[in-house]
Amino acid sequence: MKKLFNNIYSWIDERVQISDLVKFMSKKYVPIHSHSIWYYFGGVSLFFFIIQVVTGILLTFYYKGSSEQAYESIKFIMSKVEFGWLIRSIHAWSANLFIFTIFIHMFSVFFERTYRKPRELTWVTGVLLFFLSLSFGFSGYLLPWNELAYFATKVGTDIVGVVPIIGEPLKLLLRGSEDVTGATLSRFFAFHVMLLPLIFSLILFIHLLLVQIQGMSEPVEEKVKGNMPFFPNFFLRDLILWLLVLNILAVLAVFFPSELGLKANPLAPAPAGIKPEWYFMFMFQSLKFLPSKILFIDGELLGILLFGSAGVLWLLVPFWDRKTARGQKNRLINYIGIFAIIFIIVMTILGWVL
Amino acid sequence: MNTTTQKKIPRKDFFKYIINISTSAFLILIVYPIVSFLKPPKQREVEVSDVKISNLDDFAIGDSKIVRFGNKPIIVIRKEKEQFIALSAACTHLDCTVQYKKDESIIWCACHNGKYDLTGRNISGPPPRPLDKFVATLKNNELIITKASS
């Protein structure tokens, strides 16, 4: 067995020189310090992405992306296909945990100022991946074609239409028709399984390549106690964590399976207590709080422009945080990060309570 | 005196053993649901005993029709006013659906140029065996197609 493996390895190595890569990987070190734990969240996010790819491909084997058949096909998956309920449930839970761990990964990188030179592009690609993950969530939410998804998509795409000049054409591009119809479902299906995975994989590849080339960032303020080889020491720790995460995922998926609800009916009134997914809640709730007119501007428009500019500023942090770039302390970054976290948590809770 | 010799397993081997077993068990737990998921669920196949063609006025002499018999296609040829031929339309070579060629008076498969005569016998090309026969009976201006009793 070992001999066979060695033979295959040397066969490939003679042709594509992978031993250089292995040598490179074995020289990669992970710094040990009091905040080392944050290094794990990128890997966990990657693990959730892999689970999404596997379960997503499985679901497409039975899913039918049309307004007449989408709901029925998911019903079929959940009631007739063996372990269909489990695969769907894992896909839904893993999607939520994926976005949750990305939030943690992103904020830890923000507070550690890991985005500073030379890792500006790693930060930019990471934030793009975060935005794409939100789009994954939004497009995937409609696919069961149930009541909740229908109205969430109606509201979500309506908000896009508020933006001046580009809003209306963008809304039409997303919906594929004036209203949310079967045409929207076809488009969202295409976004969710074709367009987004393609763009996401490409950016993810660049993101991971940058991490490999530049190695792990060392913190500014913490004292580094030593180094741990990435392979096998850190890698095995990663695997143990992945195993733990997989078990948590399985427990959640089995004991709290995702429901299907009622089939979307464009003529029915919106059901009471309709809510977006939790990761959109803080934006949804903030827009609700804004008065309809602020000075001369439409309240909703102002909210969207504010969130839009916040997103752009967030994407470009490494370029306007000049102090950290010069090697000085920048407390403003801490304040912004803490404000963002408190704002998101408070608004999310208010969204659930009110 | 106690003479039984206990066979000792070294601690290292014992842990190796435990780890191998639990890894395999874990992999099975992941692979089993996925393999089961891929197996298409059984859809009940409707058992059909006969098929009727009622509108015989539209069925000109020398014409042919393909009708469904359960999940399978059947080719029906009106040879004379009261003479019908009913055969399975699935070519015995690779399952393409065959067609009636009136000018040559044969049944022809377009996929690989397989030819059958009007009794369903394979006469040229790749088909390995004749087409399955069905029985067509005329009753009250209605054609009833049933399975041939073998």
Q: Which tens digits make up the pLDDT trace of A219-263?
A: 877 788 888 888 788 889 999 999 999 999 999 999 999 989 899
Of residues B5 and B122, more confidently modeled: B122
What residues of chain A lie within 8 A of the CB of B22, using their CB?
A: none
What residues of chain A lie within 8 A of the CB of B33, using their CB?
A: 82-83, 86-87
How much is the average pLDDT of B6-14?
84
Most B CBs within 10 Å, among A59, A81, A236, A245, to test the B interface: A81
Q: How confident is the model at residue A163 (pLDDT cuts 50, 70, 90)?
A: confident
Domain boundaries, chain B: 9-41, 50-147
Rounded distance, CA B148 to CA B130, Å?
14
pLDDT tens profile A59-98: 999 999 999 999 999 999 999 999 999 999 999 999 999 9
CA torsion sign for A64, A69, A70, A71 is negative
Average pLDDT, chain B: 87
**A28-264 CATH fold:** Cytochrome Bc1 Complex; Chain C (1.20.810)
Q: Which of A58, A80, A87 is the closest to B41 by Cβ?
A: A80
How much is the average pLDDT of A23-34?
83
| Residues A303/A287, Cβ–Cβ less than 8 Å | yes
Strand, coil or helix: what is A115?
coil
Q: Is the ipTM of this complex over 0.90?
A: no
Give, as one character, the DSSP assignment of residue A37.
Answer: G
Residue B47 pLDDT more than 80?
no
What residues of chain B lie within 8 A of the CB of A87, using their CB?
A: 33-34, 37
Average pLDDT, chain A: 91
pLDDT reported for residue A126: 97
Q: Do A58 and B36 touch (CB under 8 A)?
A: no
Rounded distance, CA B16 to CA B23, Å?
10
With DSSP H G I counted as helix, E B as strand and the rest as coil, what are the percentages for chain A, rounded to 5?
Answer: 70, 5, 25
pLDDT reported for residue B57: 79
Residue A152 pLDDT more than 60?
yes
Residue of A nearest to B23 (CA): A243
pLDDT reported for residue A280: 93
Q: Do A82 and B41 touch (CB under 8 A)?
A: yes
Residue B2 pLDDT more than 70?
no
Of residues B92 and B46, more confidently modeled: B92
Burial of A84: CB neighbours in 10 Å, binned 0-12, 13-18, 19+:
buried
How much is the average pLDDT of A31-59?
94
Residue A138 pLDDT more than 90?
yes
Rounded distance, CA B11 to CA B18, Å?
11
Q: How confident is the model at residue A40 (pLDDT cuts 50, 70, 90)?
A: very high
Domain boundaries, chain A: 28-264
How much is the average pLDDT of A309-330?
91
pLDDT reported for residue B5: 65
Strand, coil or helix: what is A260?
coil
| A195 φ, ψ (degrees, to nearest 5) | -65, -55
Closest by alpha carbon to A350, among A286, A273, A272, A277?
A286
pLDDT tens profile A274-283: 788 999 999 9
pLDDT reported for residue B150: 56
Burial of A213: CB neighbours in 10 Å, binned 0-12, 13-18, 19+:
exposed
pLDDT tens profile A281-301: 999 899 888 888 777 888 888
**B50-147 CATH fold:** Rieske Iron-sulfur Protein (2.102.10)
| A352 φ, ψ (degrees, to nearest 5) | -80, -35
Q: How far is B34 from chain A (nearest CA, A)?
A: 8
Residue A207 pLDDT more than 90?
yes
pLDDT reported for residue B18: 93
Q: Do A82 and B34 touch (CB under 8 A)?
A: no
Rounded distance, CA A311 to CA A307, Å?
6
Residue A2 pLDDT more than 60?
yes
